[in-house]
Amino acid sequence: MVLLMAWLLVLAGLGWMVSQRLKVSTDLRSFMPAPTTPDQRLLMEQVGDGPGSRLLLLAISGQSDVQLAALSKGLVGALRRDPRYTQVLNGSFDLAALDPSLLPYRYLLSPTLDTQPLDKSYLADQLQQRLDDLSSPAASLLKGLLPRDPTLEMLKLAERWTPKKSPEVREGVWFSTQHEALLLVQTSAAGFDPDAQQRAIDGIQHAFHALPGSAGAKLEFSGPGYFSVVVGAQTRHQADWIGRISSVGFIVLMLLAYRSLSSLLLSALPIASAALAGIAALTVAFPEVHGITLAFGFTLLGVAQEYPIRVLSHRRAGEDAVQSVRALWPLLLTAIASACIAYLAFYASGVNGLKQLAVFTIVGLLVAGFSTRYLLSHLLPVQVRDVAQMPWLENARAFVDRLPRPRWIPVVVALLIVLMLAVAPGPFWQNDLAALTPLPRDMLLHDARLREALGAPDVRYLLVLQVPTEQGVLALSEKLQPKVDALVAQHAVDALELPSLYLPSIATQRARQQQLPDRSTLQRELTQAMQGLPFRPDLFQPFLDDVETARSLTPLTPERYAQTPLGQRLAAMLVQRDGHWLGLGTVSGVHDAAALHALGKDSEGSVRLLDLKAASESLVAAYRTRILQALLAASLLLVLAITLALRSLRRAWHVLAPMTLATFLVLAVERIVGIEISLFHLVALILAGGLGLHYALFFERDTGDVAEQRRTLHATIVCVLSALLVFGMLGWATIPVLRAIGLTVSLGVAFHFCLSILMAPHAIGRLSDPGAEDSHARED
């Protein structure tokens, strides 16, 4: 009792420590291997921080256009001051987007002066046009601007900055053809940080529902950040309900197998200790723990569930648990040690996520094993039923013993594997991580429709400009603009936004400043231009003032600009890294990727089109290579460890051959039905391999004692059934990640079980004679 209390206290202490220290990182990137190519490195940044991935697409529907427009405007008003969002657009052009103190900068930002001095002929033409405007329906739009901005530079800039392919504007805001008011929101948070995205989405929901008249309207989201939230929630939801069902099933199975509630409760303690100790070790060794490490780690800890089961099945009537464990311990220790040695290879892989996985599982398995041996065994009730006396088990063991065990089985299975792998359809590896967490089809269609309507940038392509200085990026971007315009004109791409669209280089701004006439010259030109026109002579004083101010302005830099909403947009397009600057051009509607790639020709690497999909696939492939290398090293270590432990190559063969064949058989069967192998399949194969190692080890062990052989069969059957229950349920999940793990482990457990029986040496049938155990009476 004291021991139990102490154990529970230690667990509570560990739990408290974990709750205090555990910091789970949901960022997918930190689980990935260190990127090696420049594209992969950029991908790592862009996956989370790129302008495209931080974009949320919003649609409001369900009311009249007028009400929807009011809601759209209300939402923009509510979100514009919120630091969670860097840009909120709904199509209504708002002069406030340009800071009033920056208004004189329009002459430095607009390209007009590049081709056109502010001389009398240009001014006269412009003024004549304004006169036409005044007599036209547009009059009320322009009347207010006229004195300050007769050449309408502000409107030219506004036109430049609105997406080229923008949706229809009704009631002053964007509308889709399906009566939805559309908005674009760029979040400050990274796109693949589901928690931060959830907060951003909650903020929008909250602001929306606080608006008067929002009750009858429907607000819909789309975009990468929203998807990461939905996928995370869906996966958790399915894993939860499947977990609940299989937990109930597992409890029922254990009660049926051992008929003892206290045994069941106590045998949960080693697993709980393993999990807590594993996490505690992670919090000590690493500043942040990856969510994926925990998910994979808990999966792999499934092996530890076998330790208490083995002990429970091998109990004999009247014998206390400590004695039962003692007999089993050498074998259990072999299993634990070989698994730990194998996971050491993961630690050596150098990938942060895999290192964490290794620390978690090694600590977990050791704790589970040793707590089973030294703690659990002292707590289990003394009075138990010896499973060896159950009639069904006797029959089952007799059946197993009668099974033929031909020597040709390994050869046939191996040939079968080779054959199936050879004719399997489709590519072997699944490189697309997104394929494992696919989105519902209607959600993708909705996204495509909104993206098309809003002309929102593609998440797949980016044009990357790489130059040593920030100004260099802007200058290169300016140089590239005519080529990009040509591509848009050829319909190779719908739109390509370069950083210089928002801010020209200092050199260009200076050149434009040089073009601005001094006050007296401008006054003279203007007076001549106004001749014969009915404008009031003193009307354009504000214009003269602004031009005069613009002449002596310090050119705008990205830092200064960053304080305005548009500057935020620019900041997302300019990134400093490793002593050079990157300019990121966002691309929408790619029709001819080759033509875009050609932009980088002759640029000596300073301009290139980044295909984020290709880069992410190469990254996944690199990651898999690391895992496979770790696996290979792990296998070699495993062979060595088992051979040393059993002190016989032949015995090691009986343990390792069924395990190896079963693993490849799972691979072959999955391939023949058309499954492409992903990282998750590999992790599941490792877990199944760990379980298979146990089956083979215990079947290979031959004590010559028929009762003990029955107990081994009982333990193995309980282990197989519980694994099939838990992972078979996962196999029914609709989310591919869960299905991949569930299916692979279930298949693996079944194959390992069958092969380790069929390839085990025939047991010596000797009548049970307690006390007269002969551990050497083993024959092939």
Partner 1 sequence: MQVLDRPLVVSGELAWLGGDQLQRRVDQPNQETATIANGEVTQQRAGKPPRHFSLKRAPQLQVLLDSFVALLSGDAGRLQQAFEIRYTGVASGPWVLVLTPRDAAVAKSVASITIDGDGKQSRCMRMQEADGDLAIDLLGPLAAKMPAQPTREALQALCQGAR
Q: How far is the CB of 107 from partner 1 (least distance, A)?
A: 21
How many C-beta neighbours within 10 Å does residue 12 have?
11
Taking the least distance from each CB to partner 1, the nearer of 142 and 506 is: 142
Q: How far is the CB of 566 from partner 1 (least distance, A)?
A: 22
Extract long-range pairs of 246-255: CB within 8 Å, 24+ residues apart. Answer: 246/725, 246/726, 246/729, 246/730, 249/725, 249/726, 249/729, 250/722, 250/725, 250/726, 253/718, 253/721, 253/722, 253/725, 254/718, 254/722
Using rule CB under 8 A, residue 96 touches partner 1 = no
Using rule CB under 8 A, residue 134 touches partner 1 = yes
**H-only helix segments in 22-147:** 38-49, 65-80, 106-109, 112-115, 120-134, 139-142
Q: How far is the CB of 141 from partner 1 (least distance, A)?
A: 6
Q: How far is the CB of 162 from partner 1 (least distance, A)?
A: 12
Taking the least distance from each CB to partner 1, the nearer of 90 and 746 is: 90
Q: Is 289:283 a contact under the CB 8 Å cutoff?
A: yes
Selected from 132, 518, 773, 774, the binder of partner 1 by CB under 8 A is 132
How many C-beta neighbours within 10 Å does residue 632 have?
11
Please name every residue paired with 466 in a beta bridge, in sequence order, or none if there are none. Answer: 582
Taking the least distance from each CB to partner 1, the nearer of 39 and 171 is: 171
Of the ranges 278-286, 348-356, 474-482, 530-538, which one interacts with partner 1 (CB under 8 A)?
530-538
Taking the least distance from each CB to partner 1, the nearer of 23 and 536 is: 536
Find the length of the chain: 780
Q: How far is the CB of 98 from partner 1 (least distance, A)?
A: 18
Q: How far is the CB of 70 from partner 1 (least distance, A)?
A: 11
Of the ranges 126-134, 498-506, 595-603, 651-659, which one interacts with partner 1 (CB under 8 A)?
126-134
Of the ranges 136-144, 478-486, 495-503, 685-693, which one interacts with partner 1 (CB under 8 A)?
136-144
Q: Is 310:328 a contact under the CB 8 Å cutoff?
A: yes
Q: Is 2 exposed, middle or buried (0-12, 13-18, 19+ CB in 10 A)?
A: exposed
Selected from 131, 486, 644, 772, the binder of partner 1 by CB under 8 A is 131
Q: How far is the CB of 131 from partner 1 (least distance, A)?
A: 7
Bridge pairing between strands 24-25 and 289-290: parallel
Rounded-to-integer distance, Cα 94 and Cα 444, Å:
31
Using rule CB under 8 A, residue 139 touches partner 1 = yes
Using rule CB under 8 A, residue 62 touches partner 1 = no
Q: Is 631 exposed, middle or buried (0-12, 13-18, 19+ CB in 10 A)?
A: buried
Please name every residue paired with 185 in a beta bridge, in sequence order, or none if there are none. Answer: 56, 88
Residue 87 to residues 39, 54, 449, 487, 567, Cα–Cα distance (Å) = 27, 10, 21, 27, 10
Selected from 391, 404, 482, 537, the binder of partner 1 by CB under 8 A is 537
* Contact track, partner 1, 158-177, x by CB under 8 A: ----------xxxxx-----
Using rule CB under 8 A, residue 534 touches partner 1 = yes
Longest dimension (CA), the chain: 125
Using rule CB under 8 A, residue 145 touches partner 1 = no
Q: How far is the CB of 513 from partner 1 (least distance, A)?
A: 28
Using rule CB under 8 A, residue 146 touches partner 1 = yes
Q: How far is the CB of 38 from partner 1 (least distance, A)?
A: 41
> Tokens 């003279």 label which residue?
524
Bridge pairing between strands 607-611 and 173-175: unpaired
Q: How far is the CB of 65 from partner 1 (least distance, A)?
A: 9
Tell which residue, 248, 61, 88, has the closest CA to residue 183.
88
Rounded-to-integer distance, Cα 297 and Cα 292, Å:
8
Using rule CB under 8 A, residue 137 touches partner 1 = yes
Using rule CB under 8 A, residue 143 touches partner 1 = yes
Determine the Cα angle at 492 with ends 167 and 602, to 5°. Answer: 130
Rounded-to-integer distance, Cα 760 and Cα 400, Å:
11
Q: How far is the CB of 589 from partner 1 (least distance, A)?
A: 21
Rounded-to-integer distance, Cα 56 and Cα 66, Å:
23
Selected from 402, 407, 441, 536, the binder of partner 1 by CB under 8 A is 536
* Contact track, partner 1, 294-333, x by CB under 8 A: ----------------------------------------
Selected from 38, 62, 111, 147, the binder of partner 1 by CB under 8 A is 147
Using rule CB under 8 A, residue 532 touches partner 1 = no
Tell which residue, 468, 469, 477, has the closest CA to residue 502.
477
* Contact track, partner 1, 539-578, x by CB under 8 A: x---------------------------------------
Using rule CB under 8 A, residue 141 touches partner 1 = yes
Q: How far is the CB of 66 from partner 1 (least distance, A)?
A: 9
Bridge pairing between strands 55-61 and 461-467: unpaired
Using rule CB under 8 A, residue 138 touches partner 1 = yes
Taking the least distance from each CB to partner 1, the nearer of 166 and 629 is: 166
Please name every residue paired with 581 in a beta bridge, in sequence order, or none if there are none. Answer: 467, 576
Using rule CB under 8 A, residue 180 touches partner 1 = no
Rounded-to-integer distance, Cα 679 and Cα 741, Å:
10
Using rule CB under 8 A, residue 531 touches partner 1 = no
* Contact track, partner 1, 677-716, x by CB under 8 A: ----------------------------------------
Using rule CB under 8 A, residue 447 touches partner 1 = no
Of the ranges 44-52, 134-142, 246-254, 341-349, which one interacts with partner 1 (CB under 8 A)?
134-142
Q: How far is the CB of 679 from partner 1 (least distance, A)?
A: 51
Q: Is 282:293 a contact under the CB 8 Å cutoff?
A: yes
Q: How far is the CB of 168 from partner 1 (least distance, A)?
A: 8
Distance of CA 726 to the CA centre of its chain: 25
Structure tokens, 129: 């046009």
Q: Which amino acid is at 482?
A: P
Rounded-to-integer distance, Cα 665 and Cα 420, Å:
9
Taking the least distance from each CB to partner 1, the nearer of 144 and 765 is: 144
Taking the least distance from each CB to partner 1, the nearer of 138 and 423 is: 138
Rounded-to-integer distance, Cα 202 and Cα 213, Å:
19
Q: How far is the CB of 69 from partner 1 (least distance, A)?
A: 8
Of the ranges 25-33, 142-150, 453-461, 634-642, which one interacts with partner 1 (CB under 8 A)?
142-150
Using rule CB under 8 A, residue 140 touches partner 1 = yes
Q: Is 144:549 a contact under the CB 8 Å cutoff?
A: no
Of the ranges 9-17, 49-57, 141-149, 311-319, which one interacts with partner 1 (CB under 8 A)?
141-149
Catalog residues that contact partner 1 under the rule CB under 8 A.
Answer: 128, 131-132, 134-141, 143, 146-147, 168-172, 534-537, 539
